[in-house]
């Protein structure tokens, strides 16, 4: 109710200020009649006066609080210490992220851009997972079973925008060539009537599968539900059954009904129980709740949280898994031991960024602490799987090949009108293997799955020396479906000269891909890299590049960036500059890999230490007009580039029919 | 006796005033965090549902305003075909974009906010502003719809700020 809601915040905030006022009020009354009455009925007088002063106090509070954000804090939050660090929510509003108060590019008189069908149909990818039409978002329940990789996903069967969500389903033998299957789960129960949302799969000891997923009930409460395959013998897992006793978990006390979603894969505790974690929030603190179960039907909530980080907002799509400190294979989610670190990852609702941290898990009480609290999960400085457009990601253990594989939802960066016109929205990243970087021990390394190489057709190898301020066309025929692997080296003479030159200003501390002006801004040692999806005159281009900067300590720092600001003439698409610093160890050359697939560019720096995914929508640099260039925009340094460019075949993702499934079974 | 009655009346009046002031201040406190306080307050005050709405409810009211403005603009566009036949191409573009607001952005935002996943609502609301801007630009500076498209951009910005509070 409005009145009680409105009253509570004010009184909660003004608790302390009130008491001195009421005490003062006692002394201020001078009317003798009133005093007499007050002595006889002290309570009433006190009440009347205190109400009056409450009225005045709240009015004063209203006009005194000019800073809207602070007043919101005082009135509504009863959270911890006043935030000194950047509050994720406010930071999200004030940072110039791609979905901030962005205006169309260009001035008011730049003509608007009208998309035509030719441009729009070019945008569809050749080898990234996407349904035949309509909207897709989070990856769900990925798993390998009886020879097939299964992929489920949030899907809208009715439109190219989010809504009416059900579980789409597809299978593949190799994570690349997919066959679309019928919808796996629809919103047909009261406990998921308003949405069959994200969930994860767990393999039981007998090899059977249980699926936990979030349902939005008919009253829009977020609950967790159990489902399992109808027929264990069907390798395609076409049909799913929902447990008759659903929901198995409802929001616990202290958790709001809309802050309880995305259960993880379960792992075995040393006590022999199964344990899961579910992201949530308490006020502005992101948290992950922990539950133990033996049968996936009844659960016991631990008093401890897996982890919590203040000022990060709601944690969506939490993921929790072990990584080996020494080996480069993946680990089953239940593995633990001295040789293992644990990763906590969460998708930040406030900023649409996936963050992770490396840390230590304590099985005895289901808690985890980060190795480096200064880059804890969700902080603006913490590590990301990907520095571009990449959200709601989820890993699974691939027991077929002993790998941990990461899926990420790649949304569109264009207008919804274009999505409606072209009839679809969103992609998944190419599945990536994930391992701990055994050389640094502090970050993960991701790499596109090996199977993508099966799409490689013809290739050309190049060794080119690129002088400062030059652009070199790379002759590769078609340039819209490419796999590029490249090694760069700044010529030693250039490096020595620049490092020794005191007039070359140290800039590594200030540089950032996003804020330093993009690839056209020239520095001593960069930027240099490739311009993909560029037309002949480079009027549209998407540079993927390294920027090497001298630090104050005269050491070099390398940054890996993608600049989409000139990727398209269209002004109704978002065109950010993405990237991050990339660790380069002694003796390493600068390496990058780029997958170009129509409107998506996935780039991997230093073997996957820094990854960037971006969506681009060129209007001219499409079909045969798209070209590839090598460039070096450095002021003084010469760079040698040694690289190979493969033409990539289509993955021919198609709907289910008997022959398709049989054909895939034979590969 | 009189004194007691007077006191009771004073208390009642004060409580009532507090209630009224508090209700007003809920809208005001919310609108303070938007880029256009006056527009926000005037939109919400003009709707009787605001007095008993929580923040979700206020967001839904503003989305309803977006819907109303979209319909109004579409009607205006339809009327312009006869009056300004030379602008047909731009009008077609606007018509298509505003239909997207009506058929995609608004339902997406309503569903998302009602179901507690406001970030998709934010997408829909932002897009309403994007489509309005794109429509405006199609006239190359000679738009007959400027005040309507500007309104949409402003309402979109205000609504978006309120939806962010739900994250």
Q: Tens digits of per-residue pLDDT, A308-346?
A: 999 999 999 999 999 999 999 999 999 999 999 999 999
Find out whether A401 and A331 touch, Cβ atoms under 8 Å.
Answer: no
Q: How many other C-beta atoms are found inside a 10 Å radius of the C-beta of residue A459? A: 14
Q: In the predicted model, is pLDDT for residue A16 greater than 50? A: no
pLDDT reported for residue A47: 55
pLDDT reported for residue A76: 30
Task: Tell me what the pLDDT averaged over chain B comes to.
Answer: 93
The tokens describing A78, both together, are 């009863």
Which range has the worst mean pLDDT, A484-488, A534-538, A639-643, B116-120? B116-120
What residues have CB less than 8 Å from A95, skipping those under 6 apart?
none
- pLDDT band of A156, cuts 50, 70, 90: very high
Residues of A in contact with B160 (CB under 8 A): 101
Q: Are strands A654-655 and A178-185 parallel, antiparallel or unpaired?
A: parallel
pLDDT reported for residue A41: 46
Give the whole-angstrom CA distance, residue A56 versus residue B161: 29
The beta-strand segments (E) located in chain B are: none
pTM, full prediction: 0.85
Give the whole-angstrom CA distance, residue A343 versus residue A319: 8
Nearest to A131 by CA among A659, A663, A664, A655: A655
The closest CB to that of A313, out of B7, B131, B167, belongs to B167
Domain containing B97 — which CATH number?
1.20.140.40
What residues have CB less than 8 Å from A160, skipping those under 6 apart?
A133, A134, A135, A416, A419, A420, A422, A423, A424, A425, B104
Q: Which residue of A has its CA nearest to B37?
A: A68
Give the whole-angstrom CA distance, residue B109 versus residue B107: 5
Q: Give the mean model confidence (pLDDT) for residues A136-144.
A: 98
Which backbone phi and psi does A17 adopt, to 5 degrees? -55, -25
Which range has the worst mean pLDDT, A44-48, A202-206, A357-361, B144-148? A44-48
With 0-12 / 13-18 / 19 or more C-beta atoms within 10 angstroms meaning exposed / middle / buried, residue A535 is middle
Give the whole-angstrom CA distance, residue A484 versus residue A597: 12
Give the whole-angstrom CA distance, residue A220 versus residue A218: 5
Q: Give the mean model confidence (pLDDT) for residues B122-133.
A: 97
- Contact A162/B123, CB-based, under 8 Å? yes
Distances (CA, A) of A141 to A25, A47, A197, A199, A342: 64, 59, 11, 6, 20
A218 carries an active-site annotation? no
**A to B CB pairs, distance under 8 Å:** 179
Q: How far is A635 from chain B (nearest CA, A)?
A: 38
Of A26, A31, A138, A463, the catalytic one is A138
Q: What is the pLDDT of residues B60-102, one digit of tens each?
A: 999 999 999 999 999 999 999 999 999 999 999 999 999 999 9
With 0-12 / 13-18 / 19 or more C-beta atoms within 10 angstroms meaning exposed / middle / buried, residue A68 is middle
Give the whole-angstrom CA distance, residue A504 versus residue A549: 10
Find out whether A525 and A498 touch, Cβ atoms under 8 Å.
Answer: yes
Which backbone phi and psi does A251 adopt, to 5 degrees? -55, 130
Find out whether B148 and B76 touch, Cβ atoms under 8 Å.
Answer: yes
- Contact B115/A194, CB-based, under 8 Å? yes
Exposure string (b/e) for A15-31, b if CB count within 10 Å is 16 or more? eeeeeebeeebeeeeee
Count of domains in chain B?
Answer: 1
Give the whole-angstrom CA distance, residue A108 versus residue A115: 19
Which backbone phi and psi does B18 adopt, to 5 degrees? -60, -45
pLDDT reported for residue A451: 98
The parent domain of residue B107 ranges over 2-164
- Contact A44/B4, CB-based, under 8 Å? yes
Residues of A in contact with B18 (CB under 8 A): 7, 51, 54-55, 58
Q: How far is A10 from chain B (nearest CA, A)?
A: 8
Which range has the worst mean pLDDT, A397-406, A515-524, A651-660? A651-660
Q: Chain A contact for B95, CB < 8 A?
A: no
Find out whether A513 and A559 touch, Cβ atoms under 8 Å.
Answer: yes
Strand partners, A361: A368
Q: Give the mean model confidence (pLDDT) for residues B142-147.
A: 96
Chain A interface disruption, residue of B6, B38, B101, B119, most A CBs within 10 A:
B119
Task: Tell me what the pLDDT averaged over chain A comes to.
Answer: 86
Q: How many helices (H) and strands (E) does chain B have?
A: 7, 0
What residues have CB less than 8 Å from A449, skipping those under 6 apart?
A175, A176, A403, A405, A430, A431, A432, A433
Give the whole-angstrom CA distance, residue A359 versus residue A288: 15
Q: What is the pLDDT of residues A255-312, one digit of tens each?
A: 999 999 999 999 999 999 999 999 999 999 999 999 999 999 999 999 999 999 999 9
ipTM of the complex: 0.87
A:398-417 residues touching chain B, CB 8 A cutoff: 415-417
Which range has the worst mean pLDDT, A6-20, A103-117, A488-502? A6-20
Long-range CB contacts (within 8 A, 24+) of A297-305: A297/A226, A297/A243, A297/A245, A297/A248, A298/A248, A299/A248, A299/A249, A301/A252, A302/A365, A302/A366, A304/A365, A304/A366, A304/A367, A305/A367
Sheet arrangement for strand A209-216: A196-203, A209-216, A222-229, A240-242
- 3 state SS of B72: helix
Q: Give the mean model confidence (pLDDT) for residues A569-578.
A: 96
Q: What is the pLDDT of residues A39-90, one digit of tens each?
A: 444 455 555 555 555 555 444 444 444 333 333 333 333 333 333 333 333 3
Q: In the predicted model, is pLDDT for residue A158 greater than 80? A: yes
């Amino acid at each position: 109710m409005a009145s009680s809601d409105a009253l509570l915040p004010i009184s909660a905030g003004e608790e302390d200020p009130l008491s001195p006022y009421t005490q003062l009020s006692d002394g201020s009354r001078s009317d003798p009649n009133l005093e007499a009455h007050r002595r006889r009925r002290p309570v009433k007088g006190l009440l009347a006066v205190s109400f009056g002063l409450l009225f005045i106090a709240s009015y004063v509070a209203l006009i005194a609080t000019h800073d809207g954000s602070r007043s919101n804090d005082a009135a509504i939050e009863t959270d911890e210490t006043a935030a000194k660090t950047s509050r994720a929510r406010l930071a999200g509003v004030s940072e110039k992220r791609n979905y901030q108060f962005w205006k169309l590019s260009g001035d008011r008189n730049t003509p608007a851009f009208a998309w035509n069908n030719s441009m729009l149909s070019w945008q569809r990818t050749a080898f990234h997972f996407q349904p035949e039409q309509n909207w897709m978002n989070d990856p769900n329940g990925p798993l390998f079973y009886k020879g097939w990789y299964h992929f489920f996903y949030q899907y809208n069967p009715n439109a190219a925008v989010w809504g009416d969500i059900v579980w789409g389903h597809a299978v593949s033998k190799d994570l690349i060539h997919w066959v679309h299957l019928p919808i796996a789960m629809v919103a047909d129960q009261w406990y998921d009537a308003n949405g069959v949302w994200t969930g994860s799969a767990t393999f039981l000891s007998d090899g059977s599968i249980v699926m936990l997923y979030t349902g939005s009930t008919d009253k829009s409460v977020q609950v967790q539900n159990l489902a399992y395959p109808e027929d264990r013998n069907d390798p395609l897992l076409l049909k799913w059954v929902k447990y008759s006793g659903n929901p198995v978990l409802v929001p616990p006390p202290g958790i709001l009904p809309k802050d309880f979603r995305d259960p993880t894969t379960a792992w075995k505790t040393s006590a022999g129980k199964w344990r899961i974690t579910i992201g949530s929030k308490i006020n502005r603190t992101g948290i992950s709740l922990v539950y133990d179960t033996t049968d996936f039907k009844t659960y016991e909530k631990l008093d401890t949280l897996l982890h919590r980080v203040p000022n990060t907002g709601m944690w969506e799509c939490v993921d929790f898994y072990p990584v080996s400190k020494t080996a480069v294979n993946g680990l089953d989610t239940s593995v633990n031991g001295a040789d293992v670190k644990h990763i906590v990852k969460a998708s930040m609702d406030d900023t649409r960024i996936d963050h992770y941290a490396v840390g230590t898990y304590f099985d005895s009480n289901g808690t985890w602490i980060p190795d480096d609290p200064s880059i804890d999960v969700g902080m603006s400085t913490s590590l990301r799987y990907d520095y571009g457009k990449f959200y709601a990601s989820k890993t699974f253990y691939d027991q077929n090949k002993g790998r941990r594989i990461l899926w990420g939802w790649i949304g569109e960066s264009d207008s919804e009108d274009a999505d409606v016109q072209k009839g679809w929205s969103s992609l998944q990243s190419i599945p990536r293997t994930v391992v701990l970087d055994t050389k640094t021990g502090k970050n993960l390394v991701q790499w596109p799955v090996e199977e993508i190489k099966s799409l490689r057709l013809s290739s050309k190898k190049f060794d080119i020396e690129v002088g400062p301020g030059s652009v070199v066309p790379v002759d590769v025929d078609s340039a819209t479906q490419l796999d590029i692997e490249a090694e760069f080296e700044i010529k030693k003479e250039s490096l020595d000269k620049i490092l020794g030159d005191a007039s070359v200003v140290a800039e590594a501390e200030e540089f950032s891909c996003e804020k330093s002006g993009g690839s056209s801004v020239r520095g001593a040692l960069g930027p240099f890299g490739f311009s993909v999806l560029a037309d002949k005159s480079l009027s549209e281009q998407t540079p993927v590049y390294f920027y090497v900067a001298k630090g104050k300590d005269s050491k070099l720092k390398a940054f890996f960036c993608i600049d989409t600001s000139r990727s398209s003439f269209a002004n109704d698409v978002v065109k950010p500059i993405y990237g991050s610093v990339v660790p380069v160890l002694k003796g390493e050359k600068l390496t990058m890999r780029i997958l170009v697939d129509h409107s998506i560019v996935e780039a991997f720096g230093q073997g996957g230490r820094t990854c960037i995914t971006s969506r681009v929508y060129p209007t001219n640099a499409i079909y045969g007009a798209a070209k590839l260039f090598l460039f070096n925009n450095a002021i003084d340094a010469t760079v040698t580039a040694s690289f190979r460019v493969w033409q990539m075949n289509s993955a021919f993702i198609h709907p289910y029919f008997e022959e398709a499934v049989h054909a895939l079974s034979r590969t | 006796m009189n004194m007691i009655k007077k006191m009771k009346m004073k208390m009642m009046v004060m409580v009532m005033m507090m209630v009224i002031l508090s209700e007003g201040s809920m809208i005001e406190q919310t609108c303070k965090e938007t880029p256009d306080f006056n527009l926000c307050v005037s939109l919400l005050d003009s709707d009787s549902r605001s007095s008993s709405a929580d923040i979700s409810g206020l967001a839904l009211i503003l989305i309803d305003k977006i819907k109303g403005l979209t319909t109004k603009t579409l009607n205006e566009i339809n009327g312009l075909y006869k009056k300004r036949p030379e602008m047909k191409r731009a009008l077609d573009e606007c018509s298509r974009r505003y239909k997207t607001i009506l058929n995609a952005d608004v339902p997406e935002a309503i569903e998302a906010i009602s179901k507690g996943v406001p970030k998709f609502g934010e997408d829909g609301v932002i897009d309403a502003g994007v489509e309005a801007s794109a429509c405006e630009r199609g006239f190359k500076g000679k738009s007959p719809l400027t005040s309507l498209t500007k309104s949409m951009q402003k309402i979109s910005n205000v609504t978006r700020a309120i939806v962010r509070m739900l994250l």
